[in-house]
Amino acid sequence: MVFDILTLFPEFFSSTVRHGVVGRAAASGLIEVNARSLRDYTEDRHRTTDDYPYGGGHGMVMKVEPVVKGIEALKGSGGPANVVLTTPQGRLFSQPLAEELASKGRLIIVCGRYEGYDERIREFADYEISIGDYVLSGGEIPALVMIDAVSRLVPGVLGEPESAKSDSFSRGLLEYPQYTRPEEFRGMRVPEVLLSGNHAEIEKWRRKESIRRTCLRRPDLLEKADIANGDRAFLEEMIKKGGPGSS
């Protein structure tokens, strides 16, 4: 999977690509992250990437030529690529969208800055994506979010293919509670079932806790979640009994 980033701040990306899961994926060649400066695609002496808005108003607008020249230069080398614009006006990023992007093989991600894009830039994009309903000062953090979420889905990046599948949002449910040593901390004990060594019971407990937690914190997720028949009975029981915490 190749990520080509067009940004005013290429240094933003260098440390991410050296750490953790994404870092190891890059080191082993499973992913590649290339950050290019938009200034490389300017042609004026001052390497200008912004300009005043037509019609007036405050702030500056990202110029069309450097972005489009950058996209075209990158498209002209390497394999076919899909172009992603980071923008608060885009489609909301989600696990299914991460899966779709992971199937593309190569993404060119444009990081917006200033007060936004010259509208004509949108013509050159396949996707406009927002990572959530809040305002950021640039598209670099959204790009990093997408790189992380998409890289995890590239075969071989997480040990076994199972690890990505069992991840919380992949099944549409929140994760079950986890514990590690010690068995007791300030009077708070690890649930007995987790110490029992009974793997079938542990599995059942985890599924139930996953559903309980989702019901309690993100009931909106339950409509789309893939819940097996046996678990559906538990969910119904929990709703009847007056909601989470009662079973």
**From the candidates 11, 51, 115, 237, which is the catalytic residue?**
115
Which of 132, 155, 156, 191: binder of ligand 4H7 (CB under 6 A)?
132
User: How is residue 86 written in tokens?
Assistant: 């980071």
Catalytic residue among 32, 50, 100, 167: 167
Number of chain residues interacting with ligand 4H7 (CB under 6 A): 16
Residue span binding ligand 4H7 (CB under 6 A) among the ranges 1-9, 124-132, 155-163, 189-197: 124-132
Question: Which residue, 78 or 132, has its beta carbon nearer to ligand 4H7?
Answer: 132
Nearest approach, Cβ of 167 to ligand 4H7 (angstroms)? 22
- 218 to 117, 135, 146, 161, 179: CA distances (angstroms): 34, 23, 22, 26, 22
Identify which of residues 26 and 83 has a Cβ nearer to ligand 4H7 in the complex.
83
Q: Which of 53, 88, 177, 244 is catalytic?
A: 88
Catalytic annotation present for 152: yes
Query: Catalytic pick from 152, 171, 207, 212?
Result: 152
Least gap, CB of 59 to ligand 4H7 (angstroms): 8
Site for ligand 4H7 in 137-166 (CB under 6 A): 138-139, 142
- Contact between 53 and ligand 4H7 per CB under 6 A: no
| Number of C-beta neighbours around residue 228 at 10 A | 9
Tokens of 41: 């695609």
135 binds ligand 4H7 (CB under 6 A): yes
Query: Known catalytic residue: 231?
Result: no
Segment 83 to 102, residues that bind ligand 4H7, using CB under 6 A: 86-88
Phi, then psi, of 176 in degrees rounded to 5: -75, 160
The CA distance from 234 to 191, in Å, is 19
User: Which tokens is 24 given?
Assistant: 């190891």
Dmax of the chain from CA atoms?
Answer: 71
Catalytic positions: 88, 115, 152, 167
Residues interacting with ligand 4H7, by CB under 6 A? 86-88, 112, 115-117, 130-132, 134-136, 138-139, 142
